[in-house]
């Protein structure tokens, strides 16, 4: 099975091909430029030889009958660097002098295709000709003289050989450079793609259920480093959301279990007494009155539980929609007065002037009434309940103080959970389903506030609720309506 063409392999091959193409192009360009330079040197040598003045005649020598391109002594040892061919004005060859040694001459230029017109047009310029026998190519210089035309030629074998060697060497160097580039690119890409491999492994681990997996720390200034950092932040948010989801699912499961448990008891009591009465087990008189009283108590208890459950359900969709600017001091004073009438308890208030907050008066009233009801339930009837309202920096603070048995420090956070009671068992001596303080916490948190429980000096529990003070620079709803 062939290996997949990964992005890393593709990039490595592309880098190698680019290096190879660029190197080969440079090699070919340099080789062509070198060939042109060498040919230009040959042209200069031909021109220099053709313009050399003729040697002075020696009186002892016989008169020359043929123009020679060289004055060196004749013989087998003499080397002629250029081939010489003379033409008459009709284009016929009048004289031929091959290059090289006399006993081993070099091939002559192939001039069979040259016409007088071409000779005349090429006079003073250099041309490239083939050789007789196709042995190679020569560079020739054509000159016109009174007797016709003179052609000096030199072989390009050395030029061609040098060019071929340069091309082969350059291509070999290009290939080696491409291979080295591929190796370097592979190492760099392997190192550069390491964060990608780590992200792939991390994503696979998370897909398998390990939400705590994170990528290895990398340099955050690079694009891949920024991507890895963003991925870690996203994974942290996903893990946090998953924990919240599991926590909420557990709370919902526990809430349903507790609600079912709480409702089962009063409903079972109502059903039991009703069946007992239907079967004739309860005769008119004190027994029937007691059965009806228990049924009434159980129905009231179930009704309170259902009302609290509905209140918690409404909080999720209603809280915050009915906010208005209210005087918290006046609201608490009204609640204290109503509480004294409804409970018959000694409820005292300590309120320091107006305290303005932006809140939902209906839900805030219910939260404070729940705190008073909770204090009245657990504190002895002979003790008082105190309500204190004052400023605490930029917060408004409400304190509900009782002098009852108090709440253990280990239980002070748990009492705000739904269906929570200070004791581990479900003793219903004091009534209630454990939803009052849960409603208080939901209301306070929805108002961006906080709630905590501390011990009352001398015994008892003090519940403190803090809410943000209203922005006095912003107009109230009434002022908005008057505008």
Question: CA 38 to CA 34: how far, in whole Å?
Answer: 6
Determine the distance from the C-alpha atom of residue 440 to the mean position of all C-alpha atoms in its chain, rounded to a whole number: 42
What six digits make up the tokens of 481?
Answer: 């309506």
Q: Within a domain: residue 202?
A: no
Per-residue model confidence (pLDDT) at position 281: 66
pLDDT at 30 over 90: no
Q: Which domain holds residue 175?
A: 1-52+69-192
Per-residue model confidence (pLDDT) at position 472: 65
Q: What angle do CA 259, 265, 270 make, to 5 degrees?
A: 125
Q: Do residue 405 and residue 381 come from a single domain?
A: yes
Q: Within a domain: residue 340?
A: yes
Q: What is the DSSP letter of 220?
A: T
Q: Which of 268, 302, 318 is the last residue of a domain?
A: 318
- 159 or 102: which carries more pLDDT confidence? 159
On whether the CB atoms of residues 463 and 406 are closer than 8 A, the answer is no
Q: Within a domain: residue 206?
A: no
On whether the CB atoms of residues 375 and 385 are closer than 8 A, the answer is yes
pLDDT digits (tens, 9 = 90+) for 335-367: 888 888 877 888 998 887 788 999 888 888 888
Arithmetic mean of pLDDT, 121-142: 74
**Cα-Cα-Cα-Cα dihedral of 332, 335, 340, 343, to 10°?**
-130
Q: Do residue 287 and residue 345 come from a single domain?
A: no
pTM, 2 dp: 0.44
The overall longest dimension of the chain from CA atoms, in Å, is: 177
Q: What angle do CA 456, 458, 463 make, to 5 degrees?
A: 10
Q: Do residue 440 and residue 371 come from a single domain?
A: yes
pLDDT digits (tens, 9 = 90+) for 441-468: 888 888 889 999 999 988 889 999 999 9
Per-residue model confidence (pLDDT) at position 55: 46
Per-residue model confidence (pLDDT) at position 65: 41
Question: Which of 421, 315, 438 shows the shortest CA–CA distance to 371?
Answer: 438
Q: Within a domain: residue 361?
A: yes
Per-residue model confidence (pLDDT) at position 425: 38
Question: CA 180 to CA 174: how far, in whole Å?
Answer: 10
Q: Give the ranges where 193-217 is alpha helix by DSSP (H).
A: 194-207
Q: Within a domain: residue 314?
A: yes
% of the chain residues with pLDDT over 70: 76
Q: Which of 268, 301, 318 is the last residue of a domain?
A: 318
Q: Do residue 122 and residue 136 come from a single domain?
A: yes
| 49-53, 178-182, 185-189, 397-401, range with greatest mean pLDDT | 397-401
pLDDT digits (tens, 9 = 90+) for 49-101: 777 655 444 444 454 443 444 444 444 457 777 888 888 877 788 888 787 77
Question: Which of 235, 245, 242 shows the shortest CA–CA distance to 201?
Answer: 235
Q: What is the DSSP letter of 330?
A: H
Arithmetic mean of pLDDT, 424-447: 67
pLDDT at 429 over 60: no
| 255-259, 303-307, 411-415, range with greatest mean pLDDT | 411-415
Per-residue model confidence (pLDDT) at position 293: 76
Per-residue model confidence (pLDDT) at position 367: 87
Q: Exposed (0-12), middle (13-18) or buried (19+): which is 31, by Cβ within 10 Å?
A: buried
pLDDT digits (tens, 9 = 90+) for 298-347: 777 677 667 766 766 666 555 555 678 999 899 999 888 888 887 788 89
Total domains in the fold of the chain = 3
Q: Do residue 394 and residue 476 come from a single domain?
A: yes
Confidence bin at 426 (pLDDT 50/70/90): very low
Per-residue model confidence (pLDDT) at position 464: 92
Arithmetic mean of pLDDT, 132-138: 65
Mean pLDDT of the chain: 76
In angstroms, what CA-CA distances link 73 with 68, 70, 77, 96, 312?
11, 9, 9, 18, 126
Q: Within a domain: residue 175?
A: yes
3-class secondary structure, 27 = helix
Q: Which of 318, 342, 359 is the last residue of a domain?
A: 318
Q: Within a domain: residue 203?
A: no
Q: Do residue 123 and residue 144 come from a single domain?
A: yes
pLDDT at 193 over 50: yes
Confidence bin at 397 (pLDDT 50/70/90): very high
Q: Do residue 133 and residue 39 come from a single domain?
A: yes
């Amino acid at each position: 099975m062939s290996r997949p063409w990964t992005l890393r392999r593709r990039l490595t091959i592309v880098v190698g091909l680019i290096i190879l193409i660029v190197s080969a192009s440079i090699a070919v360009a340099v080789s062509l430029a070198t060939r042109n330079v060498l040919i230009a040197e040959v042209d200069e040598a031909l021109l220099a030889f053709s313009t050399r003045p003729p040697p002075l005649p020696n009186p002892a020598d016989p008169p020359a009958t043929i123009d020679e391109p060289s004055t060196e002594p004749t013989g087998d040892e003499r080397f002629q660097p250029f081939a010489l061919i003379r033409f008459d004005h009709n284009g016929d060859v009048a004289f031929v002098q091959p290059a090289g040694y006399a006993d081993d001459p070099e091939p002559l230029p192939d001039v069979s295709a040259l016409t007088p017109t071409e000779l005349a047009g090429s006079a003073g310029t250099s041309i490239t000709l083939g050789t007789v026998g196709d042995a190679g190519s020569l560079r020739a210089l054509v000159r016109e003289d009174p007797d016709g035309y003179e052609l000096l030629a030199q072989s390009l074998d050395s030029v061609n050989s040098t060019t071929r060697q340069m091309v082969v060497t350059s291509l070999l160097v290009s290939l080696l450079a491409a291979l080295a580039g591929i190796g370097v690119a592979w190492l760099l890409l392997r190192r550069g793609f390491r964060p990608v491999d780590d992200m792939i492994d991390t994503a696979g681990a998370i897909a398998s259920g390990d939400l705590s997996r994170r990528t290895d720390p990398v340099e955050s200034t690079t694009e891949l480093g920024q991507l890895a950092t963003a991925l870690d932040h996203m994974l942290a948010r996903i893990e946090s959301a998953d924990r919240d989801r599991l926590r909420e699912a557990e709370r919902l499961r526990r809430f349903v279990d507790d609600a079912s448990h709480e409702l089962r008891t009063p409903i079972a009591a109502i059903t039991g007494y009703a069946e007992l009465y239907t079967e004739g087990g309860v005769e008119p008189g004190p027994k029937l009155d007691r059965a009806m009283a228990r049924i009434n108590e159980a129905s009231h208890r179930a009704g309170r539980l259902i009302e609290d459950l509905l209140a918690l359900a409404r909080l999720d969709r209603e809280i915050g929609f009915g906010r208005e600017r209210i005087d918290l001091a006046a609201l608490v004073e009204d609640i204290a007065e109503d509480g004294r009438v409804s409970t018959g308890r000694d409820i005292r208030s300590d309120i320091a002037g107006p305290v303005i907050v932006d809140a939902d008066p209906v839900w805030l009233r219910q939260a404070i009434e729940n705190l008073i009801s909770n204090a009245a339930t657990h504190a002895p009837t002979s003790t008082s309940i105190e309500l204190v309202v004052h400023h605490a920096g930029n917060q408004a603070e409400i304190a509900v103080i009782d002098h009852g048995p108090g709440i253990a420090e280990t239980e002070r956070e748990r009492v705000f959970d739904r269906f929570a009671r200070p004791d581990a068992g479900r003793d219903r001596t004091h009534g209630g389903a454990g939803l009052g303080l849960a409603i208080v916490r939901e209301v306070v948190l929805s108002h961006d506030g906080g709630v905590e429980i501390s011990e009352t000096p001398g015994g008892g529990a003090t519940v403190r609720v803090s809410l943000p003070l209203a922005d006095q620079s912003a107009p109230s709803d009434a002022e908005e309506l008057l505008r």
